Amino acid sequence: MSGLQPENAGVGGIGETAEEKYGALAFDTALSTLVVVALYVVVKVSLDGFRQWRARISVLVVGSGPVGLTAALVAVRSGKVLKLTVLDERYRTALLCRPQQIALDPRSVKFLLGLGVDFDNMEGCWHNEHFFTRIGVFQEYLLSILEQKKQKVEIKVQLGTKFTEEYLQRILHNDWPRVIVVADGSCGDSCSVLGISSDYIVESCHAYGANATIERSDQRQVPTPEIRAHNLYFDLSAYGVEALREHKNPTAKSGFHLKIYGTFRNRYMALACPTSDTKMVRYLRQTANSSIMKNIFHESFNAYKTDIEPRLSDVTLHHMQCSRRLFEIQLSHRRISAAYIEGENVAVIVEGEAARVLNFDTGFGINLGMRGLESVGTFIYRTATAVDQNDVLEALSAKMQYSKQVAETFKQTGLTESMLSVVG
Contacts of 398 (CB under 8 A, 6+ apart): 375, 379, 382
Cα separation, 131 vs 223, in Å, equals 9
Buried b (16+ CB within 10 A) or exposed e, 183-202: bbbeebebbebbebeeebee
3-state secondary structure of 287: coil
Q: What integer pLDDT is reported at residue 1 of this predicted model?
A: 45
Using left for φ > 0, alpha for ψ between -120 and 50, and beta otherwise, residue 160 falls in left
264 DSSP assignment = S
Nearest to 326 by CA among 276, 262, 367, 253: 276
- The alpha helices in 97-223, defined as continuous H runs, are 106-114, 135-148, 165-170, 190-193
Cα separation, 309 vs 219, in Å, equals 8
Q: What integer pLDDT is reported at residue 39 of this predicted model?
A: 66
Max Cα-Cα span within the chain: 135
Asked whether 98 and 57 are in contact (CB, 8 A), the reply is no
The amino acid at residue 293 is M
Residue extent(s) of CATH 3.50.50.60 domains in the chain: 57-199+335-417
Nearest to 333 by CA among 382, 402, 271: 402
Q: What integer pLDDT is reported at residue 51 of this predicted model?
A: 46
Q: What is the CATH number of domain 57-199+335-417?
A: 3.50.50.60
Question: How many other CB atoms are there within 10 angstroms of residue 382's CB atom?
Answer: 18
Nearest to 163 by CA among 88, 92, 94: 88
Predicted structure pTM score: 0.84
Cα separation, 140 vs 160, in Å, equals 16
Cα separation, 65 vs 139, in Å, equals 7
Nearest to 82 by CA among 21, 150, 136, 174: 150
β-pair partners for 62: 87, 182
Name residues of the chain where pLDDT drops below 50: 1-4, 7-9, 47-48, 50-51, 53, 424
β-pair partners for 132: 103, 125
Q: What integer pLDDT is reported at residue 344 of this predicted model?
A: 86
The length of the chain, given as a count of residues: 424
Q: 389-409 vs 365-373: helix axis angle to the nearest 10?
A: 150
Cα separation, 167 vs 417, in Å, equals 41
- Measured in degrees and rounded to the nearest 5, phi and psi for residue 39 equal -65, -40
Asked whether 267 and 216 are in contact (CB, 8 A), the reply is yes
Nearest to 100 by CA among 261, 306, 304, 323: 261
Asked whether 201 and 335 are in contact (CB, 8 A), the reply is yes
- Euclidean distance between the first and the last CA atom of the chain, given in angstroms as a whole number: 105
